[in-house]
Amino acid sequence: MWTDTHCHLDASEFDADRDAVVARARAAGVSQIVIPAVVAGNFERVRALAHAHGYSYALGIHPLYVMQAREEDLGRLDAMLTACRDDPRLVGIGEIGLDFFVPGLDAATQQHFYLAQLKLARRHDLPVILHVRRSADQLLGGLRRVGLTTGGIGHAFNGSRQQADAFLALGFKLGFGGTVTFDRSLQIRRLAAELPEEALVVETDAPDIPPQWLYRTAEERAAGATSRNEPGELPRIGACLAGLRGWTPEQAAAITTRNARAALPRLAALAPGSGSHG
């Protein structure tokens, strides 16, 4: 059974058919999904979805949204983490991090929210799920500065081997998803093939980062074609990873699920597909 370590199941793209999306994922063999928050306003929603469907969630403020965030949102995060301390489905703090690819984001504001959330992770003894986009070195610097020891996942990792090794040395796993299915993604595919097996977890980032078979050109999108990713695509993505590693898909599922549970230890206590409500 597969574990999708990063899926935005709360996204509006799923509003019309969310239950069907979940059913397809289960039918495909995806037994666990981690739903990360991106703004303070969706903390309750990701928690409710995790409980409704037997999944897990993380709470955090995404770097693409910190320009609209307020200082009191950090207080809301702290309070929610305290209130949910004993919730077994709360597995980490995320999605947090830094993004130096998207224009118009103030670096100082991003750093402020990133470091503050790392300190909350240290205080609440939770791993983190990191957004890594042209920011690996700065993220590593923040982890060392705060002294975070809980590790976590570098989501959609696209850095160098040296940066990958630095994250691994700090107790992190690295997330691979739809990008690994593209032949032209040479660096990511090389990393996926060569990193130690205990480094790898798989993810969809659905509805984003569609795999190669869902990719649409700009012309196709302009004509109305869509390329929504779904968690049910994870086994096929995982099979691409298996091919790069010389594994069977079953081995890939077992290894990456074991790694996900090491990165986010509370996952281990969640029975696959259990339907706790609360």
**Residue list for the binding site:** 6, 8, 95, 131, 155, 205
Q: How far apart are CA 89 and CA 81, in angstroms?
A: 12
Please state, as a whole number, how many other Cβ atoms lie within 10 Å of the Cβ of residue 39: 15
State the Cα–Cα distance between residues 106 and 46, nearest whole angstrom.
Answer: 27
Chain position carrying tokens 């509805």? 207
Question: Coil, strand, or helix at residue 239?
Answer: helix
How many CB atoms sit inside 10 A of residue 246's CB?
A: 8
**Could you give the count of Cα atoms lying within 13 Å of 180 in the half-sphere of its Cβ?**
34
The SS3 of residue 30 is strand
Q: Residue 267 contacts by C-beta under 8 Å, 6 or more apart in sequence?
A: 3, 32, 34, 56, 91, 260, 261
Cα separation, 55 vs 208, in Å, equals 19
Distance CA 201, CA 193 (A): 13
**Mind giving me the DSSP string for 117-143?**
HHHHHHHHT--EEEEEES-HHHHHHHH
Q: Answer yes or no: are the C-beta atoms of 139 and 132 closer than 8 Å.
A: yes
- Name the binding residues for a divalent metal cation: 6, 8, 95, 131, 155, 205
